[in-house]
Amino acid sequence: MSQQKNKIFLIINKYAGHQNGADSLDVVVSYLKKNDCAVQYSFTNHPGHATELASNAIADGYDLVVAVGGDGTVNEVAQGLIGTETPMGIIPMGSGNGLARELGISMNLLKSTRTLIKGKNLKLDVCKLNDQRFLCTSGIGFDALVAHKMSKAASRGFLKYVQLVVQESIFYKPLDVRIKIDGVLIEKPVFLITFANASQFGNNAFIAPAASMTDGFIDVVVVHKFAKIWMPVFAVALFTKLIPKLTFVECFKAKQIDLELADTPYYHFDGEPGKLKTPAQINLDEDKIWVRCG
């Protein structure tokens, strides 16, 4: 009797990676089939479609469901897999690739494909802001504003992100907030507040270097109002894991965060824009997710 093939379903955002998402198909499918995997795939064609496809793949008995795209695609696929025993694989094709980088998944197409077969499954915490689940980071303030602007931009990519950061920082005004972090009240103007399950936003920009996706805590990084002359220092600290050393930054590990007031209509979840409703609660989800990584 022949051994049962490993059934893998690919969910592909064809517009990811400067619209190169579809170009990954030949490499990924060819390698998997050569390694005796049964492979099927589908392209996403509307918001939420990746979640539907992931749920259907579980019902159809697939052993591994793979997000081929950026952080938004990964988040959508994850929504359909959270709380199940079916692991998620990642072929990173986006501009940030936050979760893939966090888990040490290669940005090289062939190497990340090999991980789908040779990698191990890791059970990760899942966080949520109100009812919106996220895997890596969520937050309010400057990064949420940039995520909102980025979603409306005609082009994407790291250089476009840098352009928006510089542009928006010129006239940006800190937010008035009232927030309780495990009961500790903060009521001061802030540049941003990040709720971190992972240590980075993506592109190796480490907003919460001490964060762990398996420790059962949410790392909360409060960046208080600071003089704009310090903006270059803040940027350098992001890429050198020195954010906690800055005098205008407070870091917490928490189970329950209550955002009572925030003078902004925006938040982000895994880099995607959302409309904020306060009061908001940020906490750990009861369910977790399995992810295939190196």
| Same-domain pairing of 273 and 166 | yes
144 and 78, same structural domain? no
pLDDT at residue 61 is higher than 50: yes
Task: Assess if residue 127 is contained within a domain.
Answer: no
In a domain, residue 162? The reply is yes
Q: pTM of the full predicted structure?
A: 0.92
Which one has a higher pLDDT value, 3 or 283? Answer: 283
Q: How confident is the model at residue 152 (pLDDT cuts 50, 70, 90)?
A: confident
Whether residues 104 and 168 fall in one domain: no
Q: Looking at the structure, tell me whether residues 109 and 249 fall in a common domain.
A: no
228 falls within a domain: yes
pLDDT at 15: 81
Residues 108 and 160 in one domain: no
The confidence band for 1, taking pLDDT boundaries of 50, 70 and 90, is very low
Same-domain status, 94 and 230:
no
127 Cα distance to chain centroid: 11
Q: Helix 24-34 vs helix 109-118: angle between axes, to the nearest 10 degrees?
A: 30
pLDDT > 80? residue 88: yes
The pLDDT score that the predictor gives to residue 54 is 98
Q: Are residues 90 and 218 in the same domain?
A: no
Average pLDDT over residues 188-212: 96
Whether 76 maps to a domain, the answer reads yes
Query: In the prediction, which pLDDT does 225 show?
Result: 97
Are 158 and 250 contained in the same domain?
yes
pLDDT value at residue 49: 97
Range with the poorest average pLDDT among 17-21, 242-246, 250-254:
17-21
Are 186 and 222 contacting, i.e. CB atoms less than 8 angstroms apart? yes
Instruction: Please report, for the domain that includes residue 281, its CATH number.
Output: 2.60.200.40
**Domain-located, residue 126:** no
Kindly state whether residue 291 falls inside one of the protein's structural domains: no
- Choice between 159 and 215, residue whose per-residue pLDDT is larger: 215
Is 195 inside any structural domain? yes
Domain of residue 251: give its range.
132-285
pLDDT of residue 19: 56
Q: Of 118, 148, 183, which residue sits at a domain end?
A: 118
Residues 165 and 281 in one domain: yes
Q: Which tokens in the block code for residue 66? A: 């793979």
Average pLDDT of the segment spanning 76-101: 95
Look at residue 264 and tell me if it is in a domain.
yes
- 103 and 206 in a single domain? The answer is no
Residue 97 pLDDT: 93
Do residues 138 and 170 share a domain?
A: yes
**What CATH number is associated with residue 100?**
3.40.50.10330
Q: What is the pLDDT of residue 162?
A: 82
The rounded mean pLDDT for the chain is 93
Structural domain total, the chain: 2
pLDDT digits (tens, 9 = 90+) for 91-136: 999 888 999 999 999 999 999 999 999 999 999 999 999 999 999 9
* 147/179 same-domain check: yes
Last residue of a domain, one of 118, 144, 160: 118
User: At which of 118, 140, 163 does a domain end?
Assistant: 118
Between 125 and 3, name the one with better pLDDT. 125
